[in-house]
Amino acid sequence: MKNLIIASTSTLHGLGYLEYLLPVLKNHFKNANTILFIPYARPSGISHNDYTAKVAQAFAKIDKKVVGLHTFENPVEAVVNAQAIFTGGGNTFLLVKQLYANNLLSTLKETLLNGTPYLGCSAGSNITGLTMETTNDMPIVYPPSFKTLGMVPFNINPHYLDPIEGSTHMGETRETRINEFHCFNTQPVLGLREGSWLEVHGSKITLKGALSARLFCQNQPAVELEPESDLSNLS
């Protein structure tokens, strides 16, 4: 019984870390006292302790304790026994490499399939899709595979950006990049704008937030999905 929140971003302009999501997270994590935080999307040189402290400060506002996965001698056991799990943003290549290096990807997938509540933001959302290949991140390291958790039957592009009218920027748009992906891959891609998220309960997937999301399917025009759209049958 999957129970996930897959958010485009952790922070909206003018608000604190996770602030816009805290009312939703209070209910999402209502049965958990402690949240296991996976900080692997940040290099260890950018202290995992500092990253975890930032997360802990946010969750303290809804009376939740946070512990970093990096503090456990046996990370597999920590994931299996977690009351709830949060994977934060950063670099998706690094995150996936570290999950594979610690033999955690299959364990995390099984744990989430068994119903442990999960929050992913940015890189932590990328890994809930079929693959991480529609990330916006630079390949600063090389994971052994791009295959990820497959909690939803499509790929995600967090922080999705629309072209800015009147802009003189001549680089490729996000839509162009996703269309390039579809020259070689068949799975749908959901462009998730900042401030939007998916709620996954069992097999039901619902778009939440005030903004629409942009759906790309191979050999089809992109379409806008309004909030509360049901993506359960998307494949």
pTM for the full model?
0.95
pLDDT tens column, 180-201: 999 999 999 999 999 999 999 9
Residue for token pair 């209070």: 26
Q: Of 44-53, 115-124, 210-219, which range is least confident? A: 44-53
The structural domains of the chain, ordered by start, are: 3-161+190-213 (3.40.50.880)
Pairing of the two strands 3-7 and 197-201? antiparallel
Residue for token pair 């119903």: 115
Is residue 229 among the annotated active site residues?
no
State percent of the chain over pLDDT 70. Answer: 96
Catalytic residue among 28, 70, 137, 196: 137
Is residue 50 among the annotated active site residues?
no
Residue for token pair 């998730």: 192
Catalytic residue among 159, 182, 212, 232: 159
Is residue 162 among the annotated active site residues?
no
- Mean pLDDT, residues 76-97: 98
Q: What are phi and psi of 12, to 5 degrees?
A: -100, 150
Catalytic residue among 10, 122, 125, 229: 122
Run of H or E including 100? helix 92-101
pLDDT tens column, 23-54: 999 999 999 999 999 999 998 766 899 999 99
Average pLDDT, the chain: 95
Distances, alpha carbon 225 to alpha carbons 56, 208, 216, in Å: 33, 11, 11
Cross-sheet strand order for the sheet of 213-216: 155-158, 189-192, 213-216, 223-225
